[in-house]
Chains A and B, each alone.
Chain A
């Protein structure tokens, strides 16, 4: 049997080339894999959802809606929830999306803190930034699909932010949502549905393919200890069988934990929100949009001017300009912090105090602007929030820089000691 397959597919060659790929052993290297597992989970649960979902808002009524006439898209969610484990699978789709974005963010953070984006991996950093942005956009296009009052209101804010882009915003928003987003616009769901289940996932698959191909081609960055253990060599465990076994176990643990979360915390109870009406419930975006939502709350309303027929107002500053600057900044990082020679080894965050404290400052900015999202709930004043959002991150960055210099500064010229306990222990670590 093996011989038969080997004759046709040259498995032996494939084994030697691909299956022996070395994986560095460190738990932070699993963050990318968790992102991938989330994507796989999203595709699988998404298949289940599409098979039961009706992308239309034609009015239907039935026992699930208590005889009330509701949009078909909304009704099909009630139907999915009524299926055996239907609500759990829908919930799993929801939580896997959150975990994917969180894991991708942490994965990026790990790359950033260790300088792994440097020459020759600039390209893969850029692909990674696009992957994160595209994942968030994909998640956003799924918001409106249950077509309940909460989902539609939350999406409506996105529509108006898009429309705030100068000159072309209204046009782009209208193309994405097929006209103004409203409870009675029959074209919106038929447009968002294929974008969410077909075109964006296809784009994601393409980018993930490119991301992994480049990674295999360039090989993983090596942890710092690898330089001591075997300088110039690649240290790690082979993909098959060791890494594959670990990945398999991690995938099972991932599925077990997320399914537990999905079952214990059922996401987005559409029945509680009801079908969309002219009324607006109090909405909050998901955590990965909360910082934009917070910034929108604290920008003064009178910060606006007209220029060549376009309005530049608070929605533009907070909803479009700030995120664009951050995305462009992320894309520029490998070129601002450039290594002339090819980098093989990860850098220790403690030896790069500027970069590390910059990351800590940015995280603080993210946390503080997220806090601003709770302005009304916590009755925080605008002045205080401005200090929290724009001054506190700078102070945090400066203070952590000073602390790092004081604590680690004197050791920079010393070689890092790596203690080896027995032979090959680093590889088994």
Chain B
């Protein structure tokens, strides 16, 4: 009964009470605002499902000491690179090999872009002391092959410099991949390397962060 009275009271009260009307409008507006905000937030929350999930699989592990370098492309893909392969490449138009690391468990770590490597047999006499320090005594050198500019594979060779075909970035492989041309923001990191039984083996971690610098 009291309930009914309250309703009736409210009903006849509000037309002549602008104060009550204003209060009610404010409450409704706040309610609309809150629910619109909640709708946007929950959409974002659901939208978070669009961000791909990182999968932890052996082929996505970063390069590590003890990995053996294998061909990344070509007819010999996934075969171990030997010193003889590098010697044969020396006289070619492109004197280096694009490589992937292979773990001691025989998994080729090809699903992580920053594992794309460049390996070359170069003249140790031309190398700067720092570069030489992380190369093998035979002159085997390795760098991350992912261009620091926009992530292309640095895959060309022009007048003794290492060239990225996408925007013309140039690196000096004899001097820790120092940038000598193009819009590249930083040198690609060197990868310490050694040769064991004719195979090219990773001797340590990258000397910097691999991958495009954005």
Interface residues of A (CB under 8 A from B): 153, 156-157, 159-161, 163-164, 169-171, 174-175, 178-180, 182, 184-185, 187, 277-283, 293, 296-302, 304, 311, 313-316, 375-376
Interface assignment of B184: CB less than 8 Å from any CB of chain A: yes
The stretch among B18-26, B148-156, B202-210 that forms the contact with chain A is B148-156
Known: A161-B150, A184-B110, A280-B153. A297 touches B167 (CB 8 A): yes
> Are B155 and A280 in touch, CB under 8 angstroms?
yes
In the complex the two chains form, what is the Cα distance from A175 to B52 in whole Å?
7
In the complex the two chains form, what is the Cα distance from A92 to B47 in whole Å?
36
The chain B residue with its CB closest to the CB of A177 is B52
22 A-B residue contacts at CB 8 Å?
A153-B152, A156-B151, A157-B151, A170-B214, A175-B47, A180-B113, A184-B110, A278-B145, A279-B98, A279-B153, A280-B154, A280-B166, A281-B155, A283-B165, A283-B166, A296-B167, A297-B168, A300-B183, A301-B184, A304-B185, A313-B185, A314-B185
Known: A157-B152, A160-B214, A313-B214. A278 touches B185 (CB 8 A): no
> Are B72 and A277 in touch, CB under 8 angstroms?
yes
Q: 6 smallest A-B Cβ distances: which pairs?
A: A282-B165, A280-B153, A278-B72, A179-B52, A376-B168, A164-B214
> Are B155 and A311 in touch, CB under 8 angstroms?
no
Give the residues in chain A near B184, CB-CB below 8 Å. Answer: 301
Besides A184-B59, A279-B98, A296-B183, 12 other A-B contacts (C-beta < 8 A): A153-B166, A160-B151, A164-B214, A169-B214, A184-B110, A278-B116, A278-B145, A282-B156, A282-B165, A293-B167, A313-B214, A314-B183
The chain B residue with its CB closest to the CB of A295 is B183
Give the residues in chain B near A185, CB-CB below 8 Å. Answer: 111
> Are A187 and B52 in touch, CB under 8 angstroms?
yes
Interface assignment of B213: CB less than 8 Å from any CB of chain A: yes
The chain B residue with its CB closest to the CB of A281 is B165
In the complex the two chains form, what is the Cα distance from A298 to B167 in whole Å?
9
> Are A182 and B50 in touch, CB under 8 angstroms?
no
In the complex the two chains form, what is the Cα distance from A411 to B212 in whole Å?
57
Q: How far is the CB of B100 from chain A (nearest CB, A)?
A: 7
> Are A278 and B156 in touch, CB under 8 angstroms?
no
Interface centre among A171, A184, A300 (most CB of B within 10 A): A184
Inter-chain contact total with CB atoms closer than 8 Å: 101
The chain A residue with its CB closest to the CB of B111 is A184
Interface assignment of B141: CB less than 8 Å from any CB of chain A: no
In the complex the two chains form, what is the Cα distance from A283 to B145 in whole Å?
17
Interface centre among A161, A282, A376 (most CB of B within 10 A): A376
> Are B73 and A297 in touch, CB under 8 angstroms?
no
In the complex the two chains form, what is the Cα distance from A300 to B184 in whole Å?
8
In the complex the two chains form, what is the Cα distance from A314 to B100 in whole Å?
29
In the complex the two chains form, what is the Cα distance from A182 to B86 in whole Å?
26
Give the residues in chain B near A297, CB-CB below 8 Å. Answer: 167-168, 182-183
Give the residues in chain A near B182, CB-CB below 8 Å. Answer: 297, 301
Interface centre among B59, B153, B166 (most CB of A within 10 A): B166
Q: How far is the CB of B171 from chain A (nearest CB, A)?
A: 12
Of the candidates A163, A174, A175, which one forms a contact with B214 in the assembled complex, judged by CB atoms under 8 Å apart?
A163
Give the residues in chain B near A161, CB-CB below 8 Å. Answer: 150
Give the residues in chain A near B166, CB-CB below 8 Å. Answer: 153, 157, 280, 282-283
> Are B51 and A174 in touch, CB under 8 angstroms?
yes
Q: How far is the CB of B28 from chain A (nearest CB, A)?
A: 31
In the complex the two chains form, what is the Cα distance from A399 to B1 in whole Å?
88
Interface assignment of B179: CB less than 8 Å from any CB of chain A: yes
Give the residues in chain A near B111, CB-CB below 8 Å. Answer: 182, 184-185
Q: Using an 8 Å CB-CB cutoff, how does the interface string of B116-136 with A read, 1 for contact, 0 for none?
A: 100000000000000000000
Known: A174-B51, A278-B73. A301 touches B185 (CB 8 A): yes
Give the residues in chain B near A178, CB-CB below 8 Å. Answer: 52
Q: How far is the CB of A307 from chain B (nearest CB, A)?
A: 14
Known: A296-B183, A314-B183. A279 touches B155 (CB 8 A): yes
Q: How far is the CB of B113 from chain A (nearest CB, A)?
A: 5
Give the residues in chain A near B155, CB-CB below 8 Å. Answer: 279-281
Of the candidates B59, B110, B150, B179, which one forms a contact with A160 in the assembled complex, judged by CB atoms under 8 Å apart?
B150
Known: A281-B165, A283-B166, A293-B167. A171 touches B185 (CB 8 A): no
Q: How far is the CB of B102 from chain A (nearest CB, A)?
A: 13
In the complex the two chains form, what is the Cα distance from A293 to B111 in whole Å?
28
The chain A residue with its CB closest to the CB of B53 is A179
In the complex the two chains form, what is the Cα distance from A314 to B168 in whole Å?
14
Q: How far is the CB of A190 from chain B (nearest CB, A)?
A: 11
Q: How far is the CB of B52 from chain A (nearest CB, A)?
A: 4
In the complex the two chains form, what is the Cα distance from A297 to B151 in whole Å?
14
Give the residues in chain B near A170, CB-CB below 8 Å. Answer: 214
Known: A184-B110, A278-B73, A283-B166. A171 touches B152 (CB 8 A): no
Give the residues in chain A near B116, CB-CB below 8 Å. Answer: 278
In the complex the two chains form, what is the Cα distance from A161 to B214 in whole Å?
8
> Are B52 and A174 in touch, CB under 8 angstroms?
yes
